[in-house]
Structure 1
Amino acid sequence: MTRQKRRKIIRARRTATGIALVAAISFIAGMTDAIGLTMSGDFVSFMTGNTTRAALSLQSGDYTHAATLFAAIFAFVAGNAGGIVIAHRSYRRIFNVLCAVGALLGLAALLQQTDMSIIQFCIVVFAMGMINAAVEHIEGLPIGLTYVTGALSRFGRGIGRFMLGERKIDWTIQIVPWLGMITGAVCGAIVARSYPTVALAAVSAAVFAVAAATGFMPRSLRRRYNQNVTIRRVN
Structure 2
Amino acid sequence: MTIARRRRLIKRQRTGTALAVAATISFLAGMTDAIGLLSIGDFVSFMSGNTTRAAIALGDGDFTGALLLVGALGAFIIGNALGVIAAARLGVVGVLSMVSLVLMLCAGFGTSMPKPFYFYGIVLAMGLVNAAVEHIEGLPIGLTYVTGALSRFGRGLGRWLLGNTNRQWLMQIVPWLGMFSGAVAGAVLQRHFGPASLWASFALSAGLTLATILVPSRWSKRYIHPG
TM-score class, shorter-chain normalisation, is: over 0.9
> What residue is the counterpart of 2:131 in the other structure?
133
- Structure holding more helix per residue: 2
* 1:180-199 aligned within 5 A: 180-199=178-197
Partner of 2:145: 147
> Which runs of no fewer than 5 residues in structure 2 stay unpaired?
none
User: Who is 1:168 aligned against?
Assistant: 166
**Structure 1 segment 1-235 matched on structure 2, within 5 A:** 1-90=1-90, 93-227=91-225
Cα RMSD for the two superposed structures: 1.1
Q: TM-score normalized by structure 2? A: 0.97
One-letter amino acid matched to 1:173: M
> For 1:218 and 1:10, how far apart are their aligned partners in 2?
12
Query: Does the 8 A contact of 1:97 with 1:130 survive in 2?
Result: yes
Q: Runs of 5+ in structure 1 lacking a partner? A: 229-235
Instruction: Write out the 4+ residue segments of structure 1 that deviate beyond 4 Å after TM superposition.
Output: none
Deviations 1:90-116 (A, max 9, x none): 1xx111111100110111112322251
TM-score in terms of structure 1 length:
0.94
CA contact (8 A) 1:111 1:117 kept: no
* CA distance in structure 2 between the partners assigned to 1:103 and 1:69 by the alignment: 23
CA distance in 1, matches of 2:74, 2:172: 27
CA distance in 2, matches of 1:50, 1:65: 11
Distance in structure 2 (CA, Å) of the matches to 1:68 and 1:61:
13
Q: Confirm or deny: 8 A CA contact 2:35 2:195 kept in the other structure.
A: no
Q: Is the 8 A contact 2:39 2:195 kept in 1?
A: no
Contact preservation (8 Å) 1:83, 1:132: yes
CA deviations on 1:110-133 (whole Å, 9 max, x unpaired) are: 232225111000010011000000
How far, CA to CA, are the matches of 1:115 and 1:202 in structure 2? 19
Check the 8 A contact 1:30/1:184 in 2, yes or no: yes
